[in-house]
Structure 1
Amino acid sequence: MEGQTATATFSGSRKIAAGAGAGLLAGLVWLWPQFFKQGILFTGQGLLQVAPLVVPGIALTAWIMASGADRIIGRAFEGRLMRAVLVASAMGAITPVCGVTILPLMAGLLAAGVPLAPVMAFWLSSPITDPAMLATTAATLGITFAVGKTVAAFGLGVFGGSVTAVLTRERSGEAALRSGGLASKLTARCCDGATSFEPRVWRNSSRRKAFVRQAAATTRLILICLIPAFFAEYALNAALTPGSLAAYLGSNTWWAIPAAVFVGAPAYIDGYAALPLTRGLIDNGMSPGAAMAFLVSGGVVSIWGALAIFPVLKLRPFLLYLALAVTGSLISGYVFEWVY
């Protein structure tokens, strides 16, 4: 009876909070209708622009989980811990899948008991660059920036994975996952008891269902992350211009690199869209180290990247991820400033 009462009270509190939030949102829309109209249009355009990149990623991760390929990939994370960290960092630096769409695979590996250290290494390195990003960065910012970004991705993975290995040893990564909710849907495996790899998932009804279920869960996660993130980007762009930001990120200011990480990176949405923005910032006085810190941290500390991981990881592993991402981004910026 007490449990039922507590559940009812909690449910009532959630309804009250939801009602208050809806009322606050309605009030803001009434006060600034043009701002919200433009923000909604910007969000819709942003979703359409990233769809050609995100949709194949959703299909790929759904296929990986439904076919059993995640078990094959997981073998690369096995063995001696530091070797696994190095392999995961290298794989992350060359894998052409963004951090959000690779999330189900990473969550699945943790649920399978793979240690957190190599998963953390992959998680930190994969959103920063890939072969296509390397070529685009070289064309936009020059070969020095392109190579530096790739080296930074690998280095951040090794740094984050090594620190995580020291802190967690070889403990199972399953303890890092939140119990129930979205994490359980992302880590649900196909065909209970099956260990075989079957690439032709359409030939088996249970694998087809697993593919659809995984794709739906990933799509839901991405929409939950991207809709508020694009709206936040619109609000930030309305408040800031590249010229005004460069004034605080110039080479003559000691706070340029930290500011690029703590102020610029949360506004970072898409790696390809960030390249011309970064070029404009450099043209307006942004230092090379601050630009590198912005590009590196944007992939791992951006609003949508952080929001994607928070529903899956428990608070301590999530805070560890953020701390490693911020620290590694700062180091990347300072090293590049010194080498450039």
Structure 2
Amino acid sequence: MSEVVTKVLLEFLSLSKNLLVLFIGISFFISIIQPYVPFEKVEKWMSSKNPFLANLAGALLGFITPFCSCSTVPLLVTMINRKVPFQTVMTFLFSSPLLDPWILGLMAYIYGLKVTIVYSVTTFVFSMIIGWYLDKKNYKEQVKNVVIKGVLPEQDEKRRKDFKLNIKESIKETIDLIRSVLVYILIGALVGAIIKEAVPTNFFNLISEHNQLWVIPLAAIIGIPLYVRLSTMLPLAQALMVNGFPIAPTMALLIGGAGASLPEIIMLKSIFRTKLISAFVISVFLMATVSGYLFLILT
């Protein structure tokens, strides 16, 4: 028992450090570059009356930002503060941890082209559908008033002309954001450490012996609490498949694990109200489960 507690504690310290370094680094980087980004033009393009174009913009933004589930949060807050359309923000939230060129290349090398194509198309399309649906159902009202100082156009102009001022304001913004989510990061790290170190490693082998029709949604549920980057999930998924775990529930586990995590969910509580948090979790579960069934049919 004491050995498990020690492992959980060490994992908590490691995960807390990694999350904080990642969060601080990305938050500071985004704060530094945001005065130079023409958000007014981006917003105009993303506010297209055609919902397909707005969703496509969010999906493409997710595709070119190789973030894990937790590191999407700083850019998410910036997009909300910059009044980027809600459906674009939500589509980005789903697509960013699941899609990027490097990951897809690695996936093609490990699993082959067919699996990669099915994965890419399903996650890309599902991200767009979910973003559109949440916007249509007016979930925008479930976003809390998370405001970071220093996001007005006239302040951007000053920061573009004075790099030292930009550095100073970026540090302040990063500190403000960290203060608002620090508790959530630590709680999320603790929960993630407990799950990683307390769940028996032979659990997956046990459930792989049963009917895939119910193993697929179970794998999606198991994946959601885990905090793992997709690049970490791919070797894990490969190891499961080598040990006889079928590809369909493996992909459901991969999408569930990379698409959401308990640390991310806890951090999102500082931005979203409970109704939107629930919709987010259910959406990731549905994406992972339906994708798993598609893999069962198509592969």
Same fold (TM over 0.5): yes
Alignment of 1:48-127 (within 5 A): 56-68=25-37, 70-80=39-49, 81-127=51-97
Matched, 1:178 2:147: no
Assess if the C-alpha contact under 8 Å between 1:233 and 1:269 holds in 2. no
Deviations along 1:212-269, one digit per CA (max 9) or x if unpaired, are 1232245456754554444334433434344321321457332111101112331242
Structure 1's 38 and 241: CA in aligned 2 closer, same or farther, altered over 3 A? closer
Q: How many residues are aligned here? A: 298
Q: Secondary structure at the match of 2:71?
A: coil
Give the structure-2-normalised TM-score.
0.83
Change (3 A) 1:310 1:197: same
Give the aligned CA root-mean-square deviation in angstroms. Answer: 3.1
Distance in 2 (CA, whole Å) between partners of 1:52 and 1:139 is: 30
Q: Given residue 188 of structure 1, which amino acid in structure 2 is its aligned partner?
A: K
- Equivalent position of 1:24 in the other structure: none
1:255 to 214, 230, 235: 214
Equivalent residues of 2:269, 2:277 under 8 A apart: yes
Summarize the Cα distance change of 1:300–1:214 in structure 2 as closer, same or farther, 3 Å threshold. Answer: farther
Using a 3 Å threshold, how does the CA distance of structure 1 residues 142 and 268 change in structure 2: closer, same or farther? farther
Q: How much does 1:140 deviate? A: 3.7
- Give yes or no for contact 1:65–1:105 (8 Å, CA) kept in 2: no
Q: Which moved more, 1:72-81 or 1:321-330?
A: 72-81
CA contact (8 A) 1:178 1:314 kept: yes
The answer to which of 32-41 and 296-305 deviates more is 32-41
Q: Secondary structure, in 3 states, of the residue corresponding to 2:225?
A: helix
AA aligned opposite 1:272: S
Which among 277, 282, 297 is matched to residue 323 of structure 1?
282
Structure 2 unmatched ranges of 5 or more = none
Q: Extract structure 1 runs of 4+ deviating beyond 6 A.
A: none
Residues 210 and 280 of structure 1, relative CA distance in 2, 3 Å threshold: same
- For 2:204, which of 223, 245, 252 is the aligned residue? 245
2:254 aligned residue: 295
User: Is the 1:128–1:295 contact (alpha carbons within 8 Å) kept by the matching residues of 2?
Assistant: no
Distance in 1 between the 2:161 and 2:120 partners? Answer: 34
1:50 deviates by 6.5
- TM-score calculated relative to the size of structure 1: 0.74
2:78 maps to a residue whose letter is G
Shift of 1:118: 1.8
- The correspondence for 1:209, drawn from 138, 150, 168, is 168
Question: Which structure is larger by alpha-carbon Rg, 1 or 2?
Answer: 1
1:277 counterpart (236, 242, 249): 236
Matched, 1:42 2:11: yes
CA distance in 2, matches of 1:221, 1:101: 15
**CA apart distance, 1:95:** 2.1
SS at match of 1:216: helix
Pair 1:150–1:296, CA change in 2 (3 A) = same
Q: Is 2:103 the partner of 1:133?
A: yes
**CA distance in 2: counterparts of 1:127 and 1:135, whole angstroms:** 15
Provide the residue aligned with 1:4 in structure 2: none
Of all paired residues, the percent bearing the same amino acid is: 18
**Structure 1 Cα separation of the partners of residues 75 and 38 of structure 2:** 9
Q: Is the 8 A contact 1:94 1:131 kept in 2?
A: yes
| SS of residue paired to 1:266 | coil
Q: Paired residue for 2:268, among 268, 285, 309?
A: 309
Structure 1 residue ranges without an equivalent (≥5): 1-31
